[in-house]
Amino acid sequence: MPDLAPLPTPLDEATEALRALLGDRLVTSGGDRRQHSHGEGLPDAGLPDMVAYPETTEEVAELARICTAHRIAMVPYGAGSSLEGQVAALNGGVSVDLTRMNRVLEVSPGSLDCHVQAGVTRMQLNAHLRDTGLFFPLDPGADATLGGMAATRASGTNAVGYGTMREVVLALTVVTPDGRIIRTGSRARKSATGYDLTRLYVGSEGTLGFITELRLRLVGQPEAVVSAVSQFPSLEAAVNTATMARQMDLRVVRLELLDEVQTDACIRYSKLEGMAPKPTLFVEFHGTPAAVREQAELFHELARDMGALSWDEAETPEARTALWTARHHAYEACIALVPGSRNMGTDACVPIEHLAACLIETQADVRDSGLTAPIVGHVGDGNFHLGILFDPEDKDQRARADALAERVSLRAIRYGGTCSGEHGVGLHKTRYLAAEHGEALEIMRALKAALDSLGLMNPGKLIPEREAPPTG
């Protein structure tokens, strides 16, 4: 009787070809797969069938050709710090971990730019740059990979001064789903030659191809820095100070709000002294000594006029680090408010004239929800996060958290803003995209179909399923 072994599946064949390409850098064991099934944030997971660790753009291209030939899904993976489920392998397939592509390929102080592989993290890059007088200015909190930051169009606390990944990426190396290697953009600071492919891949969340290398703008380390903390009697006074500073064109490079609940959490978690549980602004100015002194004084004067209770400048680098460390631990401080809880983040961003109203309405929603949900905000950009705490075992709490998050997202859209200023869409924000983009969503679908016709790149992310068949 002949040996009736089952025919190899496409997955088997792809696995064999990928193993021939990568050797033991293709891993099919449970530990690596589970670790690559989710990012931060909500616990929704998608288990990949395997994890690949390519080391070069060429290896990624060959991997893509193999996966396309066998119709295997590909999910790019960086530091795993994304918050919206971007890295979950919903259809299985290969999680492509780019963290071994971690070489800084070139730094050009003369043109203020650098060339890095996608797996370099922002802290690694800044450590590398320490002696050059330059730094990479974006700071999303997490030590994300630069490829991941580009893919999610990340920004963070410095964006009001230095822009987002949209602004600081000059050029990309991209591997298409079928394994072609393309270079978008150039090292020129500006260009008017053709469709802006760089900006198309920035924010595409791995749904159009792999970002494998980046050319990034750098900036000079500022000669002088002034940081300060100012506390206010009301959220409105704090927010109005921030928005007026923007309207006056004060050149803040960070302008962060903590509401009274979040300030209280940070005081406890980071043992901050001399602060009250009141709405608080953290600000920072970079520049030449006279310029930052003038800007800080103008801001201080404005804050005083708006009724600020305090103004404390962090004079030394150590004091500044302590200040910003407390700000960066806001997430952990928030969780610590309700031990055992999980944190559902929102990411609304609105035109700054509507920020105060939007935040006050949001605080009323929080009260109505009966949940604890502190607010931190990159208020210079009109962006704020609610950290909605809920007990993951309690269905009612989860439902109230979902309802609160939905109200915040839809309100931002009604105010002419966006449901996500910086975290991206991933899995969890797709439900708001029709409200936010309307008919433009059909253009996004056309782009996806044009550049990933087989739908193999990070399936199930960014673009929602159609609710009804297309009518056009």
Residues between 10 and 69 with contacts to a second copy, criterion CB under 8 A? none
Binding part of the chain for a second copy, among 23-31, 38-46, 195-203, 397-405 by CB under 8 A, reads 195-203
**For residue 342, what is the DSSP state?**
E
Q: Which stretch binds a second copy (CB under 8 A): 7-15, 68-76, 394-402, 415-423?
A: 415-423
Segment contacting a second copy by CB under 8 A, of 61-69, 247-255, 329-337, 395-403: 247-255
Contacts of 20 (CB under 8 A, 6+ apart): none
**Can residue 406 be called a binding residue for a second copy (CB under 8 A)?**
no
- Indicate the residue among 182 and 276 with the shorter CB distance to a second copy: 182
Q: How many residues does the chain have?
A: 472
Is residue 195 a contact residue for a second copy (CB under 8 A)?
A: yes
First to last CA, the chain: 57
Residue placing its CB nearer to a second copy in the complex, 90 or 138: 138
Shorter beta-carbon distance to a second copy: residue 188 or 399: 188
Give the β-pairing of 280-287 and 252-258. antiparallel
Q: Does 226 bind a second copy (CB under 8 A)?
A: no
φ, ψ for residue 182, nearest 5 deg: -120, 155
What span, in angstroms and rounded, lies between the C-alpha atoms of 239 and 255?
10
- Count Cβ atoms within 10 A of the Cβ of residue 339 and give its class: 0-12 exposed, 13-18 middle, 19 or more buried: exposed
Within 288-307, the residues that bind a second copy by CB under 8 A are 288, 290-291, 293-295, 298
Please tell me what DSSP assigns to residue 191. Answer: -
Pick out residues in 420-459 that bind a second copy (CB under 8 A): 420-425, 429, 432-433, 436-444, 446-451
Does 117 participate in binding a second copy (rule CB under 8 A)? no
User: Measuring CA to CA, how many Å separate 50 from each of 12, 15, 44?
Assistant: 11, 8, 18
- Tell me if residue 349 falls in helix, strand or coil: strand
Q: Does 251 bind a second copy (CB under 8 A)?
A: yes
Partners of 184 in the β-ladder: 172
Give the Cα separation of 426 and 417 in Å (integer): 18
414 binds a second copy (CB under 8 A): no
Please report how close the Cβ of residue 410 comes to a second copy at its closest, in angstroms. Answer: 13
Q: Answer yes or no: are the C-beta atoms of 171 and 186 closer than 8 Å.
A: yes
Say whether residue 213 binds a second copy (CB under 8 A): no
Name the minimum Å distance from CB 252 to a second copy. 13
Stretch that binds a second copy, among 62-70, 95-103, 245-253, 363-371 (CB under 8 A): 245-253
Tell whether residue 124 is a contact of a second copy (CB under 8 A).
no
Binding mask 329-368 for a second copy (x = CB under 8 A): ------------------x-xxxxxx--------------
Residue with tokens 């952990």: 332
Instruction: Measure the CA–CA gap between 387 and 406, rounded to whole angstroms.
Output: 13
Rounded CA separation 115/118 (Å): 10
Nearer to a second copy, 9 or 186 (CB): 186
Residues in region 125-164 near a second copy by CB under 8 A: 152-155, 159, 163-164
